[in-house]
Amino acid sequence: MKKKAHIIKEIEAGSIAEEMELEPGDELISINGTEIKDVLDYHYLIKDEALTVLVKKANEEEWELDIEKEYDEDLGIVFEEGLMDEYRSCRNKCIFCFIDQMPPGMRETLYFKDDDARLSFLQGNYITLTNMSDEEIDRILFYKLSPINISVHTTNEELRCRMLHNRFAGSALQKLQRLKDGGIQMNGQIVLCKGWNDGEELEKTIHDLAAYLPEMQSVSIVPVGLTKFREGLEQLEAFTKEDSLVVLEAVHRWQKIFLQHYGTRLIYASDEWYIKAELPIPQDEEYEGYPQIENGVGLVRSLQKEFEDYYKELSGDDRIREVSIATGVLASPILQQLTDQLKVKFPKVTVHLYTIINHYFGTNITVAGLVTGGDIMKQLKDQVLGDALLIPDVMLRHGETVLLDDLTVADMEKTLQTPVRIVQSDGKSFIDSIIM
C-alpha cells in the first residue's frame, strides 16, 4: 500500500515553518530520519529542541532543514489531512446514534461516523474502543497521550454489545485496564437510554468505573437525543421530569460516596437533567474545573458565573439599545433570567428573547447547537428584531458562518433584513453583545 503523502495546506504567519520558507503544496517526508505515519507521530517527533526536517518542494527538490526551537514549540504547519491519514469510520450501529436519526439531503460530511482515537486527542471526540487495535493502544502508551475520551455507556458487556450492535463491544472495555495501567488519563461518557442502561444498570456502571480512578478523571451522563427521523430504528423513549429526578438522585448519591473516598465527584449529570427535573443547577465548585463542559455539563453554571463576575463590574447607564436573541428551548429560561437581571442596570436596553422550536429535527431536540437557520428564519420572519439578532456560536460549523441545514448567516440577514451577530458562549460576550 502506497504511503500517504503529507501535503502542507497552510503555513501559520510568524511560525518556524514560515521562517524556513516552507509553502503550501510542499510535502513533509520525515523528521529526524523517521517517516511520519500520522498526526500522532508528527506531534511526538516535533517536541524535540533540535530537528532535522526533510521536505519535498513542489518542483520535486528535497530540502533538509536543521531547526533549533523550544521544547513543545509548534512548527506552524497545517496539513491537507488533519490526521495526516485516512479517518476511521465507526463499526458500530448504536441504538442511540444521532447520525442515524438525521434527515436525508444534508451535506455529506454530517453523515460520517468517526470512531478514531486520534480525534479524541486532537478534538476531544469520544470513542467506543471497538475500533482500536492492540497496536494503537501500544502507540498511545508509548507516546503517553492523554486524555482519551471514551464512550462507555455501560460496563455490562452483554448489554453493551446489544446497545452498540457490535459483538466485540463488550470485550473492548478490557482496553480500559491497559490504559489505566499505562497511566493514561481518561474521561468517560454514558449516553443514557430509558429501559436500557438506566436504573440498576446505571448503578452497576458507576460502581464499576470507580475501579479506574484516578486515571478515569470524570464521567458524564447525558440523555439520549431523539429526533423525529427514527423510522426503522430501535424504539426509544424520552426521559420525563420524574425520570430525571431519579437519575439525579443516583448521581448525587454516588458523588457523595466518591467525594468521601476519593476526593472527587467523578460522575456528573449534564445540564439537561437539572432543567428537565426543575432542580437548581449545582454551584461552581461542584463541577471541579468543568472537565465535561464540552459535553453539556456545567455550561449553564459557567455562563451564570461569568455573567455575574462581569455584571458586578458594570455601573450601568441609560443607553438605548434594542436587540433580539434566538436560542433553543433548553437555554431559554436561563437566558431570560440573565436578560431580566441586565435590565436592572440598563433599563433602556430592550431584549427580545425568542425560543426557537426545533421543527427540523423534531420538538424533542431542545439544545441551541442543533437549531437550524431555516427554523430561525421561519419563526422570526415577522418578529421585532431590533438593531441586531444575536445567535450563539454553537449553532455554526466551527470556524464558519454555516448552520446545520447549510443556510448561512448571510442568508438569515437577507431574509430577516437584520444584522446577525455571532456570540461566544461566555458571560462577558453575552453581556457585551447586548449592550454594545
- Out of 3.40.50, 1.10.1060, 3.40.1130, 2.60.120, select the CATH number for domain 303-435: 3.40.50
Which of 408 and 36 is assigned the larger pLDDT? 408
Peptide bond into 103 cis (omega under 30): no
Give the mean pLDDT of 354-374.
Answer: 96
Place of cell 455573567: 307
Dump pLDDT digits (tens) for 197-218.
999 999 999 999 999 999 999 9
Contact (Cβ atoms closer than 8 angstroms) between residue 41 and residue 34 = yes
Look up the CATH number of domain 99-295: 3.80.30.10
**In whole angstroms, what is the distance from residue 99 CA to residue 106 CA?**
11
- 3-state class percentages of the chain: helix first, strand second, coil last, to nearest 5: 35, 20, 45
| pLDDT band, very low/low/confident/very high, at 1 (cuts 50, 70, 90) | very low
Query: Given pLDDT bands bounded at 50, 70 and 90, which one contains residue 3?
Result: low
Taking the complete model, does pTM exceed 0.85, yes or no?
yes
Write out pLDDT tens, residues 245-301: 999 999 999 999 999 999 999 999 999 999 999 999 999 999 999 999 999 999 999
Looking at per-residue pLDDT, the higher value among 71 and 192 belongs to: 192
362: its cell numbers = 423534531
Contact of 99 with 76, CB cutoff 8 Å:
no
Give me the pLDDT at residue 346, please. Answer: 98
Give the model confidence (pLDDT) of 135-179 as tens digits. Answer: 889 988 988 888 999 999 999 999 999 999 999 999 999 999 999
Q: Where are the domains of the chain?
A: 6-79, 99-295, 303-435
Residue 187: pLDDT band (50, 70, 90) is: very high
Mean pLDDT within 237-243: 97
Query: Where does 6-79 sit in CATH, by number?
Result: 2.30.42.10
Mean pLDDT value of segment 373-396: 97
What Rg value do the Cα atoms of the chain yield, rounded?
Answer: 24
The mean pLDDT of 371-380, rounded to a whole number, is 98
Q: What is the pLDDT of residue 112?
A: 73
Share of the chain above pLDDT 70, in %: 99
